[in-house]
């Protein structure tokens, strides 16, 4: 039973970590909370839903959700962040993201209605027995995709010129600009990468929960924010570990208590960790990695 719940928590936590990493990237570079990130996650899920309903295979729905979310992230950066990012106040961009989240919610309600929409089963969910643990093909896809995307992000941040530009911008955008780094491009890249990861998580969790609603991103967005705080502000590896930890705690609370307690335990773990270690498990770090 314990091993089974740990596996369930790993696949759930991997998807949470994808959303939390996006929060962390944007906070690490701009020192700002992107409160519309949960709605970017939701829009990615709806793009994947539209493709799945049109008969596209799961991988196409996943890539479509990532692409749609990435484009949305680019638009949000241009419309909501760039005009106000140099105003010297953190309140203005914070309020613009709240406004963007409400606009996106109402736009999706207009298109799809407020009721849950079933996510089609895009491939056969086959149970696989691994000793005392039974996993489904969907769980393996969710966990494998989450790990692959996080590994790819780590590779981009550490091994590419774009990653070096993002890390330099996170350290000090003024100095980075003086040294020839295209700071605006680095910020756009952060929004695109973070949004693409959120879109992937949206499609993966929509397939896992088999339904999507316009308010799908609210709870997941808050949970991802909790994950970021658990791992440490601006700390990408911390967000990855924090996502897995919160996912495992949720799965254990569902397995041994009741599903109604899952959110209480997830946020309870956040509170306990922050009481003991206010900077999170890995410590706050304004650099992106």
User: Domain tally for the chain?
Assistant: 1
Asked if residues 62 and 200 have their Cβ atoms less than 8 Å apart, the reply is: yes
Tell whether 94 is covered by a domain: yes
What is the chain's mean pLDDT, rounded?
86
Express each pLDDT in 212-256 by its tens digit: 999 989 888 888 888 888 888 778 888 888 888 888 888 888 777
Express each pLDDT in 254-279 by its tens digit: 777 767 777 787 788 888 888 888 88
Tell whether 36 is covered by a domain: yes
User: What pLDDT does residue 289 have?
Assistant: 46
Tell whether 285 is covered by a domain: no
Express each pLDDT in 27-51 by its tens digit: 888 888 888 999 999 999 999 999 9
Residue 53 has pLDDT above 70, yes or no: yes
Instruction: Output the six-digit token pair for 105.
Output: 């919610």
User: What pLDDT does residue 285 have?
Assistant: 60
CATH number for the domain harbouring residue 7: 1.10.3470
Q: Lowest-pLDDT range, 11-15, 103-107, 196-200?
A: 11-15
Tell whether 138 is covered by a domain: yes
Which residue carries 């799965």 as its tokens? 251
**What's the rounded Cα separation, in Å, for the pair 10 and 130?**
15
The SS3 assignment for 129 reads strand
Tell me which residue of 124, 108, 125 sits closest to 116, measured CA to CA: 108
User: What pLDDT does residue 88 have?
Assistant: 61
Query: Which domain, by its residues, includes 47?
Result: 2-276
Q: What is the reported pTM?
A: 0.90
Confidence of residue 160 (pLDDT cuts 50, 70, 90): very high
230 CB-near residues (< 8 Å, 6+ apart): 238, 242, 245, 246, 269, 270, 273, 274, 280, 281
Tell whether 286 is covered by a domain: no
User: What pLDDT does residue 286 have?
Assistant: 46
287 CB-near residues (< 8 Å, 6+ apart): 28, 167, 170, 171, 234
Which of the two residues, 74 and 1, has the higher pLDDT score? 74
User: 3-state DSSP helix/strand/coil percent for the chain, to nearest 5?
Assistant: 75, 5, 20
Tell whether 44 is covered by a domain: yes
User: What pLDDT does residue 287 have?
Assistant: 43
């Amino acid at each position: 039973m314990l091993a089974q719940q740990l596996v369930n928590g790993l696949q759930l936590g991997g998807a949470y970590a994808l959303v939390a990493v996006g929060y962390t990237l944007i906070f690490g570079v701009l020192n700002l909370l992107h409160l519309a990130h949960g709605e970017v996650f939701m829009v990615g899920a709806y793009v994947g839903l539209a493709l799945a309903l049109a008969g596209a295979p799961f991988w196409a729905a996943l890539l479509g959700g990532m692409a749609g979310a990435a484009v949305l992230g680019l638009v949000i950066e241009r419309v909501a962040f760039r005009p106000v990012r140099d105003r010297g106040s953190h309140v203005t961009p914070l309020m613009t993201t709240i406004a963007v989240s409400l606009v996106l919610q109402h736009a999706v309600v207009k298109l799809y209605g407020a009721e849950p929409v079933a996510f089609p089963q895009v491939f056969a969910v086959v149970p696989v027995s691994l000793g005392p643990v039974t996993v489904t093909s969907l769980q393996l896809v969710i966990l494998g995709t989450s790990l692959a995307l996080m590994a790819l992000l780590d590779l981009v941040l550490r091994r590419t010129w774009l990653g070096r530009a993002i890390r330099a911008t996170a350290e000090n955008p003024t100095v980075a600009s003086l040294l020839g780094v295209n700071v605006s491009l680095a910020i756009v890249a952060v929004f695109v990468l973070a949004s693409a990861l959120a879109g992937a998580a949206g499609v993966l969790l929509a397939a896992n929960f088999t339904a999507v609603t316009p308010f799908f991103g609210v709870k997941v967005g808050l949970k991802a924010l909790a994950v970021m705080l658990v791992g440490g502000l601006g700390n990408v590896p911390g967000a990855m570990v924090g996502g897995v930890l919160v996912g495992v705690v949720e799965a254990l609370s569902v397995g041994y208590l009741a599903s109604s307690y899952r959110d209480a335990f997830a946020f309870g773990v956040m509170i306990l960790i922050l009481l003991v270690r206010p900077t999170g498990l890995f410590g706050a770090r304004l650099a992106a990695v």
